[in-house]
């Protein structure tokens, strides 16, 4: 069982407020940190949240607007000053490589760790043994990608009685079968499905970045356990959402409902809203399981069962 916890490091849109920093979302999966976007002062927010700067980490940038990427520079410099020694990978849209490299050169600081920067295209971005991360083109004023973290299916429930009936001794061989791997015992090949139930699906977290709603995103976010979606405006400013290529809270809820999302989290709020209750109320009329993100709010995403 791997813990999957989301921490909201910044929940404002382009202008920070006294209560909200600029956009950044940390997903802790076991010991690994997966960071989506990096608004200004993200390193301070990470320290405040107790996340640390020297752990296995990947960073995904949705687009090259300042409130989503400028914090990368301070983060990289702080990591180096604190002698980070683990390699780091950054993923983002076209322009991300030159943005990072030219600013490191302009600011004249050296890195204490290996840095890999990759340009994102639609489809599979990262594949690890236990999860994948995909990208989908969003609808914004700059090239923008939404991201989906999807865990691979887990082995089914282990049945000790089945293992005993096959004469397999309890201990290491049971553990191997529980991990979904085959074993050979007394010249017999034993497959996991002989002692386990059907495979169980993993968890899915979606993050929109800045976007107008679209049918492509509905399909992309199908069945998410948690969807974090651009909710910059309330209904009374729907014209601004359309003009600035953002979404209203109600539009975010419509995406969540049509995609069959379990929990919707509204974020990226315009600084004009001191209180997010108006946006939650409007979204909840469409998708009942809706909450508003707050800086340093944490959500643990549990397994579907």
**Which residues participate in catalysis according to the annotation?**
67
Q: Which of 3, 82, 18 is nearest to 47 (CA)?
A: 82
Backbone conformation region of residue 95, classed left if phi is above 0, alpha if psi is from -120 to 50, else beta:
left
Q: Phi and psi for 250 in degrees, rounded to 5? A: -65, -40
Q: What DSSP letter does each residue of 168-188 carry, written as one string?
A: PPSSHHHHHHHTT--EEETTE
- DSSP secondary structure code for residue 273 in this structure: -
Please give the distance of CA 277 from its chain centroid, rounded to a whole number.
24
Q: Which of 76, 84, 89 is nearest to 55 (CA)?
A: 84
* Count of CB atoms situated within 10 Å of the CB of 281: 14
Judge residue 152's burial from the number of C-beta atoms within 10 Å of its C-beta, 0-12 exposed, 13-18 middle, 19 or more buried.
middle
Bridge-based pairing state of the strands 88-92 and 115-119: parallel
Task: Please compute Rg for the chain using Cα positions.
Answer: 21
Report yes or no: 280 and 4 within 8 Å, Cβ to Cβ: no
Torsion over CA: 35, 241, 139, 202 (sign): positive
Alpha helical stretches, state H, the chain: 42-48, 66-69, 71-81, 96-107, 160-165, 172-178, 215-220, 238-244, 249-259, 277-284
């Amino acid at each position: 069982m791997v813990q999957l916890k989301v921490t909201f490091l910044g929940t404002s849109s382009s202008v920070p407020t006294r209560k909200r920093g600029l956009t950044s979302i940390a997903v802790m999966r076991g010991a690994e940190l997966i960071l989506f976007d990096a608004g200004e002062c993200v390193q301070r927010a990470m320290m405040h949240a107790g996340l640390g700067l020297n752990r296995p980490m990947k960073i995904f940038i949705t687009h090259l607007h300042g409130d989503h990427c400028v914090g990368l520079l301070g983060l990289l410099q702080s990591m180096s000053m604190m002698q980070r020694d683990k390699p780091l990978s950054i993923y983002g849209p076209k322009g991300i490589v030159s943005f990072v490299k030219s600013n490191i050169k302009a600011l004249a600081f050296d890195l204490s760790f290996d840095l890999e920067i990759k340009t994102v295209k639609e489809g599979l971005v990262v594949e690890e043994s236990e999860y994948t991360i995909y990208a989908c083109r969003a609808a914004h004023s700059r090239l923008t990608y939404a991201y989906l973290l999807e865990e691979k299916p887990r082995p089914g429930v282990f049945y000790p009685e089945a293992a005993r009936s096959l004469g397999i001794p309890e201990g290491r061989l049971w553990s191997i079968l529980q991990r979904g791997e085959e074993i050979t015992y007394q010249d017999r090949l034993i497959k996991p499905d002989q002692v386990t139930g059907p495979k169980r699906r993993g968890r899915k977290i979606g993050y929109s970045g800045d976007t107008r709603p679209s049918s492509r995103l509905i399909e992309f976010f199908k069945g998410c356990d948690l969807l974090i979606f651009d909710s910059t405006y309330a209904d009374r400013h729907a014209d601004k959402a359309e003009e600035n290529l953002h979404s209203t809270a109600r539009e975010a809820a419509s995406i969540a409902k049509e995609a069959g999302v379990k929990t919707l989290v509204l974020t990226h709020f315009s600084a004009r809203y001191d209180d997010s209750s108006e946006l939650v109320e409007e979204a909840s009329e469409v998708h009942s399981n809706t909450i508003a993100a707050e800086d340093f709010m944490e959500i643990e995403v549990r397994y579907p069962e």
